[in-house]
Every structure is written in structure tokens, then in C-alpha cells.
Amino acid sequence: MRAAREDLFYLIEPLLPQVEKPSRYLDHEWGSTRPSGDFHVCLMYPDTYEVGLPNMGLAILYRELNRCEGLSCERAYLPWVDMATLMRERGVPLLALESAAPVASFDVVGFTLAHEMACTNIIEALDLAGIAVRACERDEDDAIVLGGGPSVWNCEPVAPIFDAVLLGDGEEALPQMCLAIRDARRRGATRAQILGELAQIQGVYVPSLYDVVVDETSTRWGYAVPKPGSGAPERVLKRVVADFAGTDPLPSAPVPYLNVVHDRLAIEVLRGCARGCRFCQAGITYRPVRERPAEQVIAACERGLGATGYEEVSLTSLSTTDHSQCAQILTTLNDQLEDEGVRVSIPSQRLDSFGVEMAQAVSSGKKGGLTFAPEAGSQRLRDVINKNVTEQDLERAVRNAFELGWRRCKLYFMMGLPTETDDDIRAITRLAERVMEIGREVVPKGQRGGLSVSISVAVFVPKSHTPFQWAGQLSLDEVRRRQRLLLVSCGDRAVRISYHDAETSLLEAVLSRTGRATFELIYRAWELGAKMDAWTDQFDFATWQQAAADCGFDLEAIASEPLPLDARLPWEHTSPGVSRGFLEREWRRAHEGVTTADCTMTSCTGCGICQATGADIVLAGER
């Protein structure tokens, strides 16, 4: 039975003096919405307030749902461990932010699947709310629990949690889903009937309507097929907003009471990326590329800054400097904001001189640090991953940066990429040393005090719907060996080296490439205390090892196992529109060291997404 809708903030208020950052739990931020509809939706970000508030996807959906007549949308975030402990001790349920009503009292509860490591947080949130964790255990009038976001593309490990999962863009689809649920409830439809209707909406996957089959054509995790008579599609195709410029670029932007991870106004300038890095899931799942016109972006910045008072605006996307009108947008914004003390930022620099020029355009005279992502140290391996940049590109970019006044440079790499050798590891440090050498050539001796080059090396994680989905991950011992090799191969003490935790990356690989049976591992880890695993000080690999032992899982074997190229994979029934033939072709081209061009700059490369989704590439200007 759903909880009664009432303001229970009086239960939370006595706890605030006892917890860290009590402003995480306060409502009525400037710019928040006062919902008025009679069908109630709660959007839940499964992490703390300061991580979830800046999430653009949630902010966009919050805006769209509250614009729908009859719908009322509120937000909820996961309490930090201190508050969660007190709430359990005092019997206080998880509450929505705006009304302090129990999350369990809402008609729909929607979770953002931001990354794989949030899986136990979703269970924690449902348990705190008093909602059954497994969809099959919910009563007829319990909230419909939805999932969506960037990590839905292999949602099988968490599929037992969700009544339905939305694949792709949500601006149009989520309101349609919520209205369908509302109308079905008013007709007196059963829960099963509601889920059957949701399954007919493009982009909506209803896990309970599918069986998992394990046979000689599959991996050990099987593949999903519609249950006989369910009416569910064999393949659920993602939802795409074809007219991206027809949507409002300004998300709902409540101004928080405390510092959050991205404390600024964010405007999405384009969606999608066609550069074709073979490890990158987002580069497949957000296609096709759709740009906003420069004048729309500029107007949204003006409106947003006026409504929020922020002193920084970030132009966000997977690759902002690829926008065909990037220079025009930055020039105009700088001219308009020059005397207002507002800084314009872009989240990443293209690895060429244009990227540095755009960084110069937004620096406002302040030279912090520039970040580039060569991803691999050797040209051979950059061709394998289809990075389509050369060492000369990097050298020209960093030389340009040092000449323009930058003194700090950070380089991102990965280790464990398919075909990688020890020589490729050594090439990482050689490249970093060459960047430092260029800095010393350019920067006069008396000004080198702030000169620094740092490298950050992540462990490659194979992701679904990418050309590298069939690859295995390095074992823990091999990751550590290569990390030691990285350290000893660097001869320049001025180059600073950091690398990601191997155990976290291993677990991410397990959660990225398995099937529905993995839910029992996740649930057991939560029972043993796993939560907030994306926070370094909270992650405990030993907890997951114990859960794996209890469930009969070998985490390292699962993560490192290559998948057969001809096997049916656990996630192929949920599709971003890419053809399997394209992924297989890119896998073969990777092993041949053959690159594939960016289709927005040349011609169609045959990924199949435009044809499958009926959406086209939309550029605002000429590239």
C-alpha cells in the first residue's frame, strides 16, 4: 500500500544538527518548482544532493514533467550514510525534497542510472522509502518504478528492480509514459495491464515481459526474449529527440544552499558525438549528432544567468569544441559578458590547435590548466581505438597552449585497451615527457615555477554496444604490473602520475558485461553494507568479494573473459540503433589498426543509427 501523502519534514528536522551538511535535506531552493498537479512523480538521483543536483538529465526531465498539465514532479536524493542510519533508527522514510512527502506515496518513482557503481544505492533508496526492491514483489497500487539515463544500455544486472526502463532521450518519452500510467490508473487498469501498455511505447523496456534464455548460442548470462503472448518487442529501440533545437536549452536550475560538484549554469549545446572512439559507449548511444543554433545557445545563457545569478556558465556536451558554431558562440558570449564578471567554460578541449584557441576564448585572462585526452601513448594504439589524432596534433596543441600562457597540462590515458603491449605503456610516459620538454622550450627559465605536466591513467572497461564489447579486462595482477611499469618508465620527476583503482574498475566491468543473474550479487553486496561505492572512502572491495563468494561468482574471471564474436549477448534486446555488423566491422578494423572517419565531417560510415531511429545529423553551421 502506498504511504499517505503528508509533509513529514518535522521528522527530519530534529536530525539535522546530528548530520554532516544538513543543507542537503532542505527544500525551497531558489528556482525550484512548486508542483501543483494531482498525479505525482518523484525523480530520484541515487547519490547525495551535491552530486545529483547538477545532473542535467534530471534537471531537464524535472522541467518537462512540471510543464505537463496534471503532472507534479519533485526530486529526491540519497541521504549520506549518517542521515540514513539515523532515519532507520527513528523509522523515518525517504522523503521527497519539495513537499517532504514519503517517496513511497508517489505514483511514479524514476531513477537516474548515472553509472554502474550506483547499483546498490538504488536498492538503498527503495529500502529507505519502504518500496519493495524487486518489481515482482510490489502490490497493485505501489509506485511504478522507472529507470533511465546514460547507464541503461546493459541494465540487465538491475532489471529485476524496475517496472520499466526508458532507453534514450527522455524529454518527450517520460511525460508520455507518466501520462499513460495516469490514464491507465484512472481506468482502473491492473499493474500488469499498465506495464503492457508501457511496452508499446517506443524506447520503453519492461523487464518482466522477457525471459532469459541460456543456450549454446549465448554467453553464460543468456539473452532476453519476449514472453509468449506478452506483445513486447524483440528489440526495444531507443527514443530520440529528432528536433533537438526545438527543445528548451535551459534546464530547471534550482540554486543550492551548499556547494555542489558543478556549481554553475550548464547549457547543453549539442547532443551526440560521431568521432567514433571504439571504447566509448556514449559515442554510440547518443548519436546522431544534433546541434543547437548559436543564437539559441546565447539566448539560453542570458536567460539562465538572469534567473540564477551564477557567475559561470558551462557549455556542455560530449565534445563542445566540435560544435560547428563554437567560435561564434564563445566570441558573442565573451563580448556580452565581458563586464559582468561571468566566466564561460567548456568541459574539454579538442586535441588540436582549435581546441586551444577555444580554451583561450573562454579563459578571460585566467590560465588554469588545460586537459587533453590522447587515451593511448603510441600512434599504433591510437589507431586501434580510432582516436584519429597524432602525436604531432598533441605537440602543436600543447606548444600553442604554453605560448599562450598556460603552465599546467593534464593528459588522460587508459591502460588495458585491446592489443596493448608494454611498449604502449612506456609510450604514455614518453609522450608526457615530450610535453614537459616542449614546455621547457617555450616557457622562459624564470617563469617555469608553475610549469607542470600530469597524467591520469584509467583502466579500460569494456562496455555494451561498442566495438570493444567483446574484449576482456586486464586481471588485477596485470593491471598492477602495468601500473608499476608506468611508474618506473618515467624518467622525468616533474611529470606527475596518477592512476585509477584497479578493484573499482574490475567491479565496473562485471556490472557492465553480465546479465540478469548478477542482480543477486548486487543485492547480497547491499545486504553486506555496500553503498555509496562511487565514493573512494566508502568503497570496500572485500564486501563485494564476500558477496561474490556467497553467490558463487568469480569476479576476476567474469571481468577478464573475452566474449565470443558470434554469441548472443545479454543486452542485445535493448538497442541504441547501432547495427551489430558495424560493431563487428569496427572490432576487426581495430585489430587491423585501420581508422574510421567522423561521419559529420565526411560521409556515412554505416553505423545504422540514423536509419534505425529516423533521426538525422543536424549541424547548425558548416564544419
Q: Which CATH number fits the domain that encloses residue 153?
A: 3.40.50.280
Residue 248 and residue 296: Cα distance in Å, rounded? 9
- Looking at the fold, whether 333 and 369 belong to one and the same domain comes out as no
Which residues face 290 on adjacent strands? Answer: 271, 618
Would you state the pLDDT for residue 339? 82
- Looking at the fold, whether 153 and 48 belong to one and the same domain comes out as yes
In a domain, 527, yes or no: no
In a domain, 446, yes or no: yes
SS (H, E, C) 98-131: CCCCEHHHCCEEEEECCCHHHHHHHHHHHHHHCC
- 62 contacts 1 by C-beta, under 8 angstroms: no
- 210 contacts 226 by C-beta, under 8 angstroms: yes
Of 456, 487, 507, which closes a domain? 507
DSSP symbol at 309: -
Q: pLDDT at residue 120 above 60?
A: yes
CA dihedral 291, 295, 298, 300 (to 10 degrees): -80
Number of domains in the chain: 3
Q: pLDDT at residue 354 above 80?
A: no
What mean pLDDT is predicted for residues 333-355? 82
Q: What is the pLDDT of residues 588-618, one digit of tens each?
A: 999 999 999 999 999 999 999 999 999 999 9
Residue 104 and residue 109: Cα distance in Å, rounded? 8
- Looking at the fold, whether 432 and 321 belong to one and the same domain comes out as no
- Looking at the fold, whether 146 and 21 belong to one and the same domain comes out as yes
- Looking at the fold, whether 271 and 184 belong to one and the same domain comes out as no
Nearest alpha carbon to residue 519 among 547, 498, 543, 499: 547
pTM: 0.96
Residue with cell 565496473: 508
pLDDT band at 386 (very low <50, low <70, confident <90, very high): very high
The grid coordinates listed for 266 are 550548464
- Looking at the fold, whether 418 and 467 belong to one and the same domain comes out as yes
Q: What is the pLDDT of residues 441-500, one digit of tens each?
A: 999 887 888 899 999 999 999 999 999 999 999 999 999 999 999 999 999 989 999 999
Q: pLDDT at residue 165 above 60?
A: yes
178-182, 261-265, 350-354 — most confident range: 178-182
Nearest alpha carbon to residue 290 among 314, 273, 267: 273
DSSP symbol at 165: E
- The continuous run of DSSP H or E covering 370 comes out as strand 369-375
What domain range includes position 591?
A: 239-348+578-623
- Percent of the chain's residues with pLDDT above 90: 85
- CA Rg value for the chain: 24
Residue 462 preceded by cis peptide, ω within 30: no
Q: What is the mean pLDDT of the chain?
A: 94
- Looking at the fold, whether 279 and 424 belong to one and the same domain comes out as no
- 316 contacts 264 by C-beta, under 8 angstroms: no
- Looking at the fold, whether 188 and 260 belong to one and the same domain comes out as no
- Looking at the fold, whether 214 and 309 belong to one and the same domain comes out as no
- Looking at the fold, whether 174 and 42 belong to one and the same domain comes out as yes
Q: What is the pLDDT of residues 66-97, one digit of tens each?
A: 999 999 999 999 999 999 999 999 999 999 99
Beta strands in 23-70 (DSSP E): 39-45
- The continuous run of DSSP H or E covering 436 comes out as helix 422-442
Q: pLDDT at residue 544 above 80?
A: yes
- Domain with residue 374: its CATH number is 3.30.750.200
- Looking at the fold, whether 331 and 402 belong to one and the same domain comes out as no
Of 237, 259, 291, which closes a domain? 237
